[in-house]
């Protein structure tokens, strides 16, 4: 039986890159449907994505990456997809490497596979502070989830049906990637990292500038800690 696969591409004002991202996914993952979640873009992201052959979910307002991702998961849950792959709309994730993530999930080794930049190679980045922040977050998440997490902010992920259904109801907002790992672990899902390489972003810029970085480093660890104190959403069998 072949699994129904859906590539979810969150995009906010990515008209410059979304066509090539959709094209690359369709070329590299011919069995997967592609849905672009247009997060209230003011440019032509939606039309260009549709023209490139993707389905498009257009949010009427900008919800942020968390709200956009959850829209994709809600769609995947309703349309009965077995596997969902998150691929950013800015072109930094290489769809040809998604196969390794999908294999992990389909073989049942884990419920979610995360493409990590830092499993195979050393941490590098634009600034020392960003490296430090990422390293701290990785250690913190590894500690609370008692597993090895090296790239907690990676948005290159594949999940199985159970996680699709879970994320459709429960997905963090406002820099959600690290929290999304913690909340899965808290509810008994297994998360595994897979080494990948990422390209420099082709367009757009990082959503995190210096001032927001402070907010990020306080909000995310706090939200993770609070999440662990919260009651489980689902019971482990």
Residue 108, both tokens: 């049942």
- C-beta separation of 30 from 3 below 8 A: no
**Min. distance of Cβ 139 from another protein in angstroms?**
30
The residue among 5 and 194 lying less far from another protein, judged by its C-beta, is 5
Per CB under 8 A, does 11 bind another protein? no
Per CB under 8 A, does 41 bind another protein? no
> Restricting to residues 61-100, which ones interact with another protein according to CB under 8 A?
61, 63, 67, 70-71, 74-75, 78-80
Please state, in angstroms and rounded to a whole number, the distance separating the CA atoms of residues 104 and 145.
Answer: 19
Per CB under 8 A, does 1 bind another protein? no
Per CB under 8 A, does 56 bind another protein? yes
Using a 10 angstrom Cβ sphere, with 0-12 exposed, 13-18 middle and 19 or more buried, the burial of residue 17 is buried
The answer for residues whose C-beta is within 8 angstroms of residue 88's C-beta and 6 or more apart is 9, 10, 21, 155, 156
**Min. distance of Cβ 78 from another protein in angstroms?**
7
Estimate the crossing angle of helix 177-186 against helix 161-169, to 10 degrees.
110
* Residue numbers at the binding site for another protein (CB under 8 A): 33, 37, 53, 55-61, 63, 67, 70-71, 74-75, 78-80, 173
């Amino acid at each position: 039986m072949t699994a129904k696969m859906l590539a979810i591409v969150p995009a906010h004002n990515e008209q410059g890159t979304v066509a090539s991202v959709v094209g690359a996914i369709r070329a590299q993952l011919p069995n997967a449907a592609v849905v672009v979640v247009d997060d209230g873009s003011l440019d032509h992201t939606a039309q260009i994505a549709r023209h490139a052959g993707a389905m498009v979910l257009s949010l009427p307002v900008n919800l942020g990456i968390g709200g956009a991702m959850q829209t994709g998961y809600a769609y995947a849950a309703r349309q009965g997809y077995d596997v969902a792959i998150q691929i950013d709309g800015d072109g930094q994730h290489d769809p040809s490497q998604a196969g390794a993530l999908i294999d992990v999930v389909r073989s049942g080794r884990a419920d979610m596979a995360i493409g990590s930049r830092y499993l195979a190679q050393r941490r590098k980045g634009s600034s020392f502070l960003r490296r430090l922040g990422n390293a701290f977050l990785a250690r913190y998440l590894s500690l609370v989830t008692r597993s090895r997490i090296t790239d907690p902010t990676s948005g290159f992920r594949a999940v199985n049906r159970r996680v699709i259904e879970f994320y459709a109801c429960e997905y963090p907002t406002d820099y959600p990637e690290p929290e999304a790992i913690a909340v899965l672990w808290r509810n008994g899902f297994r998360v595994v990292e897979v080494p990948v390489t990422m390209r420099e972003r082709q367009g757009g810029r990082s959503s995190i500038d210096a001032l927001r970085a402070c907010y990020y480093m306080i909000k995310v660890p706090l939200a993770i800690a609070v999440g662990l104190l919260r009651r489980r959403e689902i019971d482990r069998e």
